[in-house]
């Protein structure tokens, strides 16, 4: 009887992780070997503040979850100690926080990621981390949209001032 309960608990854990893999906009896999407790605590704090869930999971559980989520390409990076960050809101923030942390703490090694259902490598994670955040992109878009109106208003004002001077 105890075995059936253990097996059911493990199956439920696999289903939970598979659901997180499917629902997350970005999932970043990293090797945390060599980080001390203070560093891991700081990393968890930064990720939590950004709304990103960070877990250390067994590779066998992750492999079963990737199979259930149809992301078996990720299995190639599931070796050694594995920590995984699930970002549900923003495609950039998880990659940015982990990449910045890895630059300061060389013990953290990025392994791979899933971005919107597509498995990517370390170089693509770093490129993604260099992108501005969602808020930064929205502010850039807003300034681009406002530029024509602002230029038109300045042109109308300049014409009005020129007519005032000539009158």
Pull the structure tokens for residue 125: 């994670």
Q: Would you say the pTM of this structure is higher than 0.85?
A: no
Token look-up 């259902």 returns: 117
141 shares a domain with 124: no
158 shares a domain with 119: no
Q: Is the pLDDT of residue 1 over 60?
A: no
Q: What's the number of domains the chain is made of?
A: 2
* pLDDT tens column, 104-154: 888 888 888 888 878 888 888 888 788 766 677 778 777 778 778 888 888
| CB-neighbour burial class of residue 86 (10 A; exposed 0-12, middle 13-18, buried 19+) | buried
Closest CA to 110 of 88, 136, 128: 128
The per-residue pLDDT for 133 is: 67
15 shares a domain with 29: yes
29 shares a domain with 101: yes
Q: Strand, coil or helix: what is 34?
A: coil
79 shares a domain with 67: yes
The per-residue pLDDT for 9 is: 87
137 shares a domain with 93: no
Mean pLDDT of 64-73: 86
48 shares a domain with 36: yes
Domain that holds residue 67: 2-131
111 shares a domain with 47: yes
The per-residue pLDDT for 94 is: 86
110 shares a domain with 31: yes
Q: How many angstroms separate the CA atoms of 95 and 110, rounded?
A: 9
Instruction: Compute φ and ψ for 29, nearest 5 degrees.
Output: -105, 135
The per-residue pLDDT for 125 is: 82
108 shares a domain with 30: yes
127 shares a domain with 145: no
Pull the structure tokens for residue 163: 């007519």
* pLDDT tens column, 10-61: 888 888 888 888 888 888 999 988 888 999 999 999 989 988 999 888 988 8
Pull the structure tokens for residue 48: 């939590």
CATH number at 99 reads 3.30.70.1730
144 shares a domain with 65: no
Pull the structure tokens for residue 88: 């549900």
Kind and range of the H or E run holding 141: helix 134-166
Closest CA to 95 of 131, 139, 136, 51: 131
């Amino acid at each position: 009887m105890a075995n059936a309960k253990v097996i059911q608990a493990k199956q439920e854990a696999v289903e939970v992780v598979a659901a997180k893999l499917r629902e997350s906009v970005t999932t970043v896999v990293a090797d945390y070997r060599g980080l001390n407790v203070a560093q891991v605590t700081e990393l968890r704090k930064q990720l939590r503040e950004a709304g990103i869930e960070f877990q250390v999971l067994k590779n066998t559980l992750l492999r079963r979850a990737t199979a259930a989520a149809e992301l078996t390409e990720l299995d190639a990076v599931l070796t050694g100690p594995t920590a995984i960050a699930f970002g549900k809101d923003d495609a950039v923030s998880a990659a940015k926080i982990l990449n910045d942390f890895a630059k300061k703490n060389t013990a953290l090694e990025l392994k791979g990621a899933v971005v919107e259902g597509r498995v990517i490598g370390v170089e693509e994670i770093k490129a993604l981390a260099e992108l501005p955040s969602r808020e930064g992109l929205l502010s850039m878009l807003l300034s681009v949209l406002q530029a024509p109106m602002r230029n038109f208003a300045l042109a109308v004002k300049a014409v009005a001032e020129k007519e005032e001077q000539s009158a």
